């Protein structure tokens, strides 16, 4: 895939030739402008009243800062409706480019393009072979993005940043995929460099559970939550952790691998090489295998659909999985004391069949005071959570070079 090489987007707001002295009026104004930008970067398009509430600044101060930032081309203003009334939304200026998101599953890839306000303009889902290699996957994703970009703009050269997710541990420092357990054809590949070469745009690599947590944090069930968790319950189990209003990735980007918490030291061998990981009891292979003798070959979504239709065997398998995950989640609750846990993924479509047993095990195994203060919620964004998060991740990358001097 080609495309012209474009310089990284950078916005520069110059008040004086030298930085104002600390404690001066100019320094205070600079800090206020930075605060407004940071709030809009974190939460997306907001009204000035909402910015004031989130930043702690007065309405008059926010109004002045927005005027200055608008004149400098650092924010954009657009009309909208809030609570039935006309409103003006403040968003980060995008430089006219598109934001792109890529989210791989074990058997598919979803891509999307969005405008600078993170509004998704077009998206597409494509199935993939489970044993595909990284080059094949990235080439297909790049082609899909190029096609989508051509439908909403002049083409792939308008893509300014890409959020890229894989359902596996990733090294946020090196930009490499880091596990043979899921998508073995990606192990050791520098996804950041390779995908940047395909589309000539900067790439932010992340785990899809982290991206889903970011999506729910900015536009779903974790909105307004300072400390929480997104639980992705699908072919395996992963978690995205939110601490102090931001997704926590750990020292190298691999935080949240709840599926590889050891449940039984003498249990089955996990695909990660250890014994008795949570995934060996509640992952798709384990659930499908447990029903093989009575139901024959099934897919994971078949189990969910049959359980919802009243199949007793499928209901029992899903309820058991919910209880096992609840025990593991109780450990997360004891360690982090989150306000809310949002449950998403294919198995979450079973609703109370899985949330009920999960909640019961959590209440039984967590410290009572911690269990009493955590709210268990279904995800609001469904299977779009990771792609929505990928778009937000691309937006954060685009504006990482914003500077005020």
Residue 96's pLDDT band, with cuts at 50, 70 and 90, is low
Choose between 101 and 132: higher pLDDT. Answer: 101
**Is-contact 376 341, C-beta < 8 A?**
yes
Residue 192 token pair: 């950041």
What average pLDDT does the segment 112-134 reach? 86
Q: What are the residue ranges spanned by the domains of the chain?
A: 12-93, 98-212+385-401, 223-379
Q: Specify the pLDDT at position 22.
A: 53
Contacts of 286 (CB under 8 A, 6+ apart): 268, 279, 280
Does pLDDT of 118 surpass 60?
Answer: yes
Residue 87's pLDDT band, with cuts at 50, 70 and 90, is confident
State how far Cα 337 lies from the chain centre. 21
Q: Specify the pLDDT at position 88.
A: 85
What average pLDDT does the segment 285-312 reach? 94
Instruction: Name the DSSP class of 186.
Output: G
Q: Specify the pLDDT at position 397.
A: 81
Residue 402's pLDDT band, with cuts at 50, 70 and 90, is very low
What is the second-level CATH architecture of the domain 12-93? Orthogonal Bundle (1.10)
**Is-contact 35 90, C-beta < 8 A?**
no
Long-range CB contacts (< 8 A, 24+ apart) of 9-12? Answer: 9/94, 9/95, 9/97, 9/160, 9/161, 9/398, 9/401, 10/401, 10/402, 10/403, 11/72, 11/73, 11/74, 11/93, 11/95, 11/399, 11/401, 11/402, 11/403, 12/403, 12/405
Q: Specify the pLDDT at position 18.
A: 40
Which residues is 46 bridged to in the sheet? 90
Residue 399's pLDDT band, with cuts at 50, 70 and 90, is low
Does pLDDT of 252 surpass 80?
Answer: no
Q: Specify the pLDDT at position 394.
A: 92
What average pLDDT does the segment 346-375 reach? 95
Residue 1's pLDDT band, with cuts at 50, 70 and 90, is very low
Does pLDDT of 254 surpass 90?
Answer: no
Q: Specify the pLDDT at position 69.
A: 84
What average pLDDT does the segment 293-309 reach? 95
Q: Which of 71-85, 238-252, 371-385 has the lowest mean pLDDT?
A: 71-85
Q: Do domains 98-212+385-401 and 223-379 have the same CATH topology?
A: yes
In this structure, the strands spanning 340-344 and 375-378 are parallel
Q: Which of 178-187, 287-296, 363-372 has the lowest mean pLDDT?
A: 178-187
Long-range CB contacts (< 8 A, 24+ apart) of 30-34? Answer: 30/404, 32/57, 32/61, 32/65, 33/65, 33/68, 33/69, 33/404, 34/404
Q: What's the mean per-residue pLDDT of the chain? A: 85
Quickly list DSSP for 51-90: HHHHH---HHHHHHHHHHHHHTTSEEEEEEEETTEEEEEE
Quickly list DSSP for 328-354: HHHHHHHHH--SEEEEESGGGGGTHHH
Residue 92's pLDDT band, with cuts at 50, 70 and 90, is confident
Q: Specify the pLDDT at position 7.
A: 35
What CA–CA distance (Å, rounded) separates 339 from 25? 38
What CA–CA distance (Å, rounded) separates 383 from 379? 9
Which CATH superfamily includes the segment(s) 98-212+385-401?
A: ATPase, nucleotide binding domain (3.30.420.40)
pLDDT of 317-357, one tens digit each?
999 999 999 999 999 999 999 999 999 999 999 999 999 99
Q: Which of 175-189, 279-293, 381-395 has the lowest mean pLDDT?
A: 175-189
Q: Specify the pLDDT at position 180.
A: 62
pLDDT of 192-227, one tens digit each?
898 988 888 999 999 999 999 999 999 999 999 999
What CA–CA distance (Å, rounded) separates 107 from 383? 14
Q: Is 1.10.10.10 the CATH number for 223-379?
A: no
């Amino acid at each position: 895939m080609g495309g012209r090489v474009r310089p990284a987007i950078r916005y520069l707001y110059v008040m004086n030739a030298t930085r104002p002295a600390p404690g001066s009026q100019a320094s205070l104004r600079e800090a206020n402008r930075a605060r407004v930008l940071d709030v809009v970067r974190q939460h997306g398009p907001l009204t000035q009243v909402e910015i004031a509430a989130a930043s702690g600044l007065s309405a008059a101060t926010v109004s002045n800062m927005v005027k200055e930032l608008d004149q400098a081309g650092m924010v954009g203003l657009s009309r909208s409706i809030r609570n039935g009334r006309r409103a003006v939304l403040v968003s980060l200026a995008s430089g006219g480019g598109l934001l792109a998101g890529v989210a791989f599953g074990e058997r598919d890839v979803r891509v999307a393009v969005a405008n600078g306000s993170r509004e998704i303009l077009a998206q597409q889902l494509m199935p993939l072979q489970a044993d595909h290699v990284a080059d094949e996957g990235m080439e297909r994703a790049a082609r899909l993005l190029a096609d989508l970009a051509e439908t909403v703009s002049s083409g792939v050269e308008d893509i300014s940043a890409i959020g890229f997710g894989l359902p596996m541990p990733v090294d946020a420092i090196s930009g490499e995929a880091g596990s043979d357990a899921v998508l073995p054809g990606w192990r050791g590949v520098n996804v950041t460099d390779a995908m940047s070469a395909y589309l000539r745009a900067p790439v932010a690599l992340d785990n899809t559970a982290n991206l889903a947590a970011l999506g729910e944090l900015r536009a779903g069930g974790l909105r307004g939550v300072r400390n929480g968790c997104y639980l992705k319950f699908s072919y395996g189990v992963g978690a995205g952790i939110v601490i102090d209003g931001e997704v926590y990735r750990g020292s190298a980007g691999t935080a949240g691998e709840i599926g590889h918490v050891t449940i039984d030291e003498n249990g089955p061998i996990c695909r990660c090489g250890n014994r008795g990981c949570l995934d060996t009891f509640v992952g798709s292979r384990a659930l499908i295998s447990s029903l093989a003798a009575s139901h024959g070959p099934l897919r994971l979504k078949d189990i969910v659909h049959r359980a919802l239709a009243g199949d007793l065997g499928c209901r029992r398998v899903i309820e058991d999985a919910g209880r096992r995950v609840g025990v593991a989640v109780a450990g997360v609750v004891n360690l982090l004391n989150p306000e809310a846990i949002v449950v998403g993924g294919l198995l979450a479509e079973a609703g109370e069949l899985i949330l009920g047993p999960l909640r019961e095990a959590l209440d039984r195994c967590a410290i009572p005071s911690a269990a009493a203060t955590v709210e268990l919620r279904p995800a609001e964004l469904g299977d779009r959570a990771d792609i929505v998060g990928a778009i937000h991740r691309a937006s954060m990358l685009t504006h990482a070079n914003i500077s005020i001097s």
